[in-house]
Amino acid sequence: LKYDNFEEFVDMVEGNISAAENYTISKDNSDILNQSSSAVKDFGTFDFIIIGAGAGGGVLANRLSEILEWNVLLLEAGGSPDDFTKILGLSAYTYYSTRSWGYNVTSQKHACLAANEEKCIFPQGRGLGGGTTINGGVYVRGHPEDFDRWVSVYGNPGWSYEEVLPYFKKSENALFEPRDSYYHGEGGYWTVDQCLSTPTVVDLFKPLFKEKGIDFIDDYSGKYENGIAQYQMSLKGNERVSTYSAFLENFTSRSNLNISLNNFVTKIAINKATKTAYGVYFVKDGVNYFAKAKKEVIVSAGGVNSAQLLMLSGIGPKKHLKDLNIPLVKNLPVGQNLQDHVMFIGLIFRTNRIFYNQTMAEMLKLYEENQRPLMTGYSVELVSFTNFGRNQTIRPDIEYQISTPPPSGSQFEFFFGINDSFVEAININTSSDINLFIYLMHPKSRGSITLKSNSPLDKPLIDPNYFAEDEDIETLYRGVELILSMNNSQILKDYGAYIVDVEYPYCESYEKFSKDWWLCAIKYFSYSTFHAVSANRMGPDPKTSVVNARLQVYGMKNLRVVDSSVLPELISGHITAPVLMLAEKASDIIKEKYNRH
């Protein structure tokens, strides 16, 4: 970071925090879609047009432009990342800025009940790097079984763990130790490292989990994922690694890589007779443009917006498009099968230790001196991927994320959009409490992305349909039960630690710590993790899938989707690493097609 002095750096950070706190999320997309006339200007002809510079699009743009005679256009709706986005621990403030699409889920019946109008916030990245510029930076690939299921359950040849492992390794520059080199890449563009954890937190939780048969493992991206471990992070030094910093920033001198910012793509141009994609329409600074694609249009607009764009272009469920007066090009289940990892955020350990009592200025000083990535409000110390049967060959049921310091009451309110009565009930002590977020790894419930209207001005409707299947809340409760069974451990007593019996409003009629009380708490304090996947899932049957195993849209020519929306289902972890892998493999699939592998 290039600042003349520390005060200037602090000013930059405080300015961003204050701007976030005063930011009003716009109700629609008018902040970036402000056409001044209906005339359409020609933007030129390219071999490939990639829509969206996020995790998928950033990798693709780099790899395809390695072929110097291919002219690649990367169109991104947002702008460039800035220094504030490099500070992982402050990422939640970026949700309240133009760096995010500012979405919420639709009112939920069984989850998000403590959120205003029962609508959890659902930020998605906007700008170079997409989600990788605003996310938590946690690096998790998932369990080998996840990818084997892409083949055995979902019928996608070529995507088993053994087949995708080389692509995970290709991007990677693993720095943490110890690690198993069979599973890790070195010298790739994407640096993966670990943060310094707070030793007392590690000393508390390692033996506590061990008592339950959950061992500490050095490397959950190695042979085994299940266990308690330190998080691996997308981190270089103290700074975030994004697809912008890793795959784009150092490649702008390639004359065949054209990156254009602040372009909102509103429609894919399709020859309806031949069902061939041949270009895109977009709006940039109020002006309408058309760009032509000679080879392919690749949609990498992310877990939500790819479905939105396909539907606006006439590719989607026939009835839904008819209801909105969108002429049908191809009837496909676009927007169906949406999944997100829902998490319970109401489990808090209170202790008699002081884990953390630094001021923001002190934390920023450490950050600037490259001692520790700034962590506040959303910090990750340890993770446990836990399989109830303690079987390493089976994917985990639950992810436990152990964090200090927990978000303060006002941060809970701000980051999660939680209403006041709950914030008061939680009554967090940020220096001595430890937050344990519990993620449901494999929800059975399926939601949807639909359009509100046929206009790109309207934000899409995101309904993850959390806990529609009873089994999901039961599994999450089993995750809570496992932690409750630690409550009498001597290890906890040594720390004066116990699980807080929060005075949850609306759950008072249940006996505290009874199953019904926890189920009530889960419904109120369950939250989105913003891991939108599967709305355009990959599979063999166009009745239930949108793209084939080569990521081509069914029934269409020259049109692919390469992003999180094609994942057949949620993996056992976070989403960036699998999307990097997916885009690496997609680049090879495309190069093979044109004999340029």
436 scored as a contact of ligand FAD (CB under 6 A): no
Q: Which amino acid is at 93?
A: Y
Site string for ligand FAD, 492-531 (x = CB under 6 A): --------------------------------------xx
- Is 13 annotated as a binding-site member? no
The smaller minimum CB distance to ligand FAD, of residues 9 and 56, is found at 56
Site string for ligand FAD, 304-333 (x = CB under 6 A): -x---x------------------------
- Is 566 annotated as a binding-site member? no
From 14-22, 123-131, 328-336, 341-349, span contacting ligand FAD (CB under 6 A): 123-131
Closest CB to ligand FAD: residue number? 54
Which of 69, 373, 401 shows the shortest CA–CA distance to 236?
373
To the nearest 10°, report the CA torsion of 544, 547, 553, 554.
-50
The smaller minimum CB distance to ligand FAD, of residues 268 and 364, is found at 268
> Which helix (DSSP H) or strand (DSSP E) does residue 75 occupy?
strand 72-75
* Residue 572, CB-side half-sphere exposure with 13 Å CA sphere: 30
* Residue 367, CB-side half-sphere exposure with 13 Å CA sphere: 26
- Is 10 annotated as a binding-site member? no
Q: How far is CA 576 from CA 112, 171, 505, in A?
A: 24, 12, 36
* Residue 130, CB-side half-sphere exposure with 13 Å CA sphere: 30
The smaller minimum CB distance to ligand FAD, of residues 241 and 502, is found at 241
From 132-140, 245-253, 388-396, 406-414, span contacting ligand FAD (CB under 6 A): 132-140
Give the integer Cα–Cα distance in Å for 412 and 419.
9
The smaller minimum CB distance to ligand FAD, of residues 326 and 577, is found at 577
* Given 135, 245, 384, 475, the residue binding ligand FAD (CB under 6 A): 135
Backbone angles phi, psi at 270, to 5 degrees: -130, 130
Q: What residues are labeled active site?
A: 531, 574
Give the integer Cα–Cα distance in Å for 511 and 504.
11
Q: Which amino acid is at 104?
A: N
* Given 13, 20, 54, 507, the residue binding ligand FAD (CB under 6 A): 54
Tokens, residue 551: 């990521």
* Given 564, 568, 584, 587, the residue binding ligand FAD (CB under 6 A): 564
- Is 370 annotated as a binding-site member? no
- Is 135 annotated as a binding-site member? yes
From 119-127, 187-195, 382-390, 589-597, span contacting ligand FAD (CB under 6 A): 119-127
124 scored as a contact of ligand FAD (CB under 6 A): yes
Q: Which amino acid is at 262?
A: N
Name residues whose C-beta falls within 8 Å of residue 583's C-beta, 6 or more positions apart in sequence. Answer: 55, 56, 57, 58, 59, 60, 63, 300, 562, 563
* Given 49, 56, 538, 585, the residue binding ligand FAD (CB under 6 A): 56
Sign of CA dihedral 137, 196, 209, 184: positive
76 scored as a contact of ligand FAD (CB under 6 A): yes
Which of 581, 577, 530 shows the shortest CA–CA distance to 192?
577
* Given 71, 300, 331, 528, the residue binding ligand FAD (CB under 6 A): 300
Site string for ligand FAD, 244-263 (x = CB under 6 A): -------------------x
Residues of this chain that interact with ligand FAD (CB under 6 A) are 51-57, 75-78, 123-127, 130-132, 134-138, 263-265, 300-303, 305, 309, 530-531, 563-564, 574-577, 579
Known binding site for FAD: residues?
135-138, 265
